[in-house]
Structure 1
Amino acid sequence: MQYPHTPERSTELLRQALPLMSRQSAALHPMSYAVWYAYVADSASALRVEVDHHLAQRGALDEATTAQLYRRHLADLDPQAAQRVSDGLQQLIGGMSAQAALAKDQTSRYGHALERMAAELAGNTHPDGAPAEAAGPPALLDELRTHTRQMQLDMAQMQQRLSDSQREIDQLRGEVQRARAESQVDALTGLPNRRAFDARLAECLAAASATRTPCLLILDLDHFKRINDSYGHPFGDQVLRAVAQLLQTLVSEPAMAARVGGEEFAVLLPATTLAEALALAEKLRVTVAASRIKRKGSDQPIERISLSQGAALWRPGDVAEALVDRADRALYTAKAAGRDRVAVADH
């Protein structure tokens, strides 16, 4: 589900969604926000058709139905879209809070004025402090005073509710930001994952030109299955983490190293020559080949680890799939030629 909405448009949609949410039996939590935001955002969506059908049959959405709708239609809500929804909701709550504060201030001044007038009309003093002669209708003023006090209490409660909502939105924003960051990091190695790599590659190719030529390296650990079979998967994970640490050390911005598969890594160089890319690839190959990784709790090094690599230089007209495919084919060439080497794609 994609939402190409500005914060202003998100705010307007949330203004439409809030009254609808308030009529349901489900609580006003982030899942409910997402369902009703999607409902008002697209009048032709499958979610809206299902919600309308349910409302016609049952009259309101309960917690279980809201959760089912969210999982069925919105579980793939991307982090950027969720961030825009959160931003819009925070802007809306902030505006409502400011308006409530203003209304409370005005109500307070109104209440003070009524108190003063009630005292004067009850025969206490004139505005200039002189004794008053006539008494006013105290019953009416008492009623007005009672309503005013109730209004002040209501406004205070409203401000408290808005403050609570603001804290909830702040928490939601933090969760969205954390989810966004975590969704782009490989949990085992700490490198960017395939999703992050794909996004960076798309950005990189959009900026590519004859004077800004990206280059892609695809790296694969040789005989990794044999390592897992011989030493166990925990040690295989240790090898992957060690290679990732090496990549983090040798690959610096604006280049990007990512884990894109089981034992497969990628290095994206946004603006480089093929010679510079091959120099880095060779440095990576030699460093890995010279490394000896030991199992935890043992001083005995294992057999030599090596990398095969495929390199592809961007050429005008290349889309992401074409560049990756050429780098992959070069990797297969390196494997077929005996491994522990770098092969270059035709260009």
Structure 2
Amino acid sequence: MKYHDSMERSADVLRQALQLMKRHGSALHPVNYTLWYEYVRGENPPLRAAMDRYLAQHLQLDDAVAEALHKRFVLGSGLDGTLIERTAEGVSTVLTGMAESAARAGDQTAQYGSSLSRLSEELAGSTHSPALQEVLNTTRQMQIAVTEMQQRLADSQSEIGQLRAELRRVHEESRMDSLTGLANRRAFDQQLATCLAEADTPARRYQRPSLLIADIDHFKRINDTHGHPYGDHVLRAVGTILKDTTPEDCLAARIGGEEFAVLIPSRSLSESRALAESVRTRVAAARVRRQGQETEATSVTISIGLTLFRPGESATAFMERADQALYTSKDSGRDRVTVLAG
């Protein structure tokens, strides 16, 4: 299922979804965002019917039920995989508007409260009729109501801040590879597109980006020999080395099973090669220990392909040339860096 909603339509749906999530005590995480978005949108009748049946009996969706509904009625329906990211954008828009409205209302309420206080003081110090006494009593009641409203607004702003922080966390997690802590393929592709668009401007003519693609040597053999948990341990170890070695202005990512990439936006080819060699030698020097066998460790190597961007070429062509360099490293004996000049 593909989504073509405008941001305004998405924000309207999410306003309703957030109200329902609060009413039913739904936790703020991507699965529940997606379920309630679908529920309000109304174009997934089986999901809505299932949620209605459950809520009629239990009032709240616990995480286990939400996960089961998500797998059956969302993932099982071929729902567009970008929905969570779009939902997060819509929620952020809604919350920004709520925060601004709350701030304006708080300012207006504070001004009104000050006016009421002055009026109350003036009335209290004067001789007045029963009618004025009624006005005074009403004014005092309004002061109490205004104070309570200001507190509710402050609480709402605090809650909005927490929601926005949660959304930022969800957004970051949606761009991160959970196993290695590196950027994932989606984040890499987005950053690559941005980098190449900037590289094709006159200002960046002499600062062409480089791309490093690395692959763990004989990774299938590692999994077959030591098991997949150890294979995951190896992936994490290589990811840690990449994080520690990659400069801040570069992006290290896991882009496939045992394949990694480093996007280098503004280094000379010789500097990029030095970075690639540093990564390769650090991986080769490391010893990855197997859990429960502290005295035994396995050495791991990686093969690397490196290339320089050609002005005007597509991201696909750029990556294909880096892959070509990687294959040359593999075919030449592995544990080496091959450079394919731009």
TM-score, with length taken from structure 2: 0.72
Contact 2:85 2:171 in 1 (8 A): no
Q: Pick closer, same or farther for the CA change 1:161–1:29 going to 2, 3 Å.
A: farther
**Whole-angstrom CA distance in 2 between matches of 1:301 and 1:234:** 15
Which among 177, 193, 196 is matched to residue 202 of structure 1? 193
**Whole-angstrom CA distance in 1 between matches of 2:87 and 2:318:** 25
Q: Pick closer, same or farther for the CA change 1:110–1:49 going to 2, 3 Å.
A: farther
Which among 86, 91, 97 is matched to residue 88 of structure 1? 97
Which among 335, 338, 342 is matched to residue 343 of structure 1? 338
Match of 2:234 in 1: 239
User: How does 1:18-97 map onto structure 2 within 5 Å?
Assistant: 27=23, 75-77=84-86, 79=88, 82-97=91-106
Match of 1:299, SS state, is strand
Contact 2:215 2:260 in 1 (8 A): yes
**Whole-angstrom CA distance in 1 between matches of 2:183 and 2:337:** 23
TM-score, with length taken from structure 1: 0.71
Match of 2:115 in 1: 106
Q: Pick closer, same or farther for the CA change 1:298–1:80 going to 2, 3 Å.
A: same
**Whole-angstrom CA distance in 1 between matches of 2:112 and 2:139:** 12
Report the RMSD for the aligned CA atoms in angstroms: 4.2
**Whole-angstrom CA distance in 2 between matches of 1:332 and 1:4:** 43
Which among 139, 163, 185 is matched to residue 154 of structure 2? 163
**Whole-angstrom CA distance in 1 between matches of 2:18 and 2:287:** 63
Please report how far the alpha carbon of residue 229 of structure 1 lies from its aligned counterpart in structure 2 after TM superposition. 1.4
Contact 2:277 2:337 in 1 (8 A): yes
Q: Pick closer, same or farther for the CA change 1:310–1:81 going to 2, 3 Å.
A: farther
**Whole-angstrom CA distance in 1 between matches of 2:327 and 2:100:** 52
Q: Pick closer, same or farther for the CA change 1:164–1:189 going to 2, 3 Å.
A: same
**Whole-angstrom CA distance in 2 between matches of 1:219 and 1:205:** 20
5+ long unaligned stretches in structure 2: 29-39, 49-55, 61-65
**Whole-angstrom CA distance in 2 between matches of 1:149 and 1:342:** 79
Give the partner amino acid of 1:102. Q
**Whole-angstrom CA distance in 1 between matches of 2:160 and 2:330:** 52
Match of 1:305 in 2: 300
**Whole-angstrom CA distance in 2 between matches of 1:202 and 1:25:** 36
5+ long unaligned stretches in structure 1: 33-46, 55-61, 122-135
Contact 1:218 1:266 in 2 (8 A): yes
Match of 2:34 in 1: none
Contact 1:257 1:268 in 2 (8 A): yes
1:331 aligns with 2:340: no
Q: Pick closer, same or farther for the CA change 1:28–1:289 going to 2, 3 Å.
A: closer
User: How does 1:186-335 map onto structure 2 within 5 Å?
Assistant: 186-208=177-199, 209-296=204-291, 297-302=293-298, 304-335=299-330
Give the partner amino acid of 1:299. T
In the TM superposition, what whole-angstrom CA distance separates every residue of 1:259-295 from its partner, at most 9, and x where no partner exists? 2222111111111232332232233223323333222
Which structure has the greater CA radius of gyration? Answer: 1
Contact 1:4 1:81 in 2 (8 A): no
**What percent of counterpart residues are identical?**
43
**Whole-angstrom CA distance in 2 between matches of 1:342 and 1:177:** 37
In the TM superposition, what whole-angstrom CA distance separates every residue of 1:129-186 from its partner, at most 9, and x where no partner exists? xxxxxxx4x2x23332332233223222211221221111111122122223333332
Please report how far the alpha carbon of residue 81 of structure 1 lies from its aligned counterpart in structure 2 after TM superposition. 5.2
Q: Pick closer, same or farther for the CA change 1:265–1:175 going to 2, 3 Å.
A: same
Match of 2:166, SS state, is helix
Q: Pick closer, same or farther for the CA change 1:187–1:21 going to 2, 3 Å.
A: closer
Match of 2:63 in 1: none
Give the partner amino acid of 2:275. L
Please report how far the alpha carbon of residue 29 of structure 1 lies from its aligned counterpart in structure 2 after TM superposition. 9.2
Which among 149, 152, 165 is matched to residue 143 of structure 2? 152
Please report how far the alpha carbon of residue 105 of structure 1 lies from its aligned counterpart in structure 2 after TM superposition. 1.4
Q: Pick closer, same or farther for the CA change 1:21–1:290 going to 2, 3 Å.
A: closer
**Whole-angstrom CA distance in 2 between matches of 1:24 and 1:78:** 15
Give the partner amino acid of 2:283. V
Match of 2:31 in 1: none
Give the partner amino acid of 2:135. L
Match of 1:35 in 2: none
Please report how far the alpha carbon of residue 333 of structure 1 lies from its aligned counterpart in structure 2 after TM superposition. 3.3
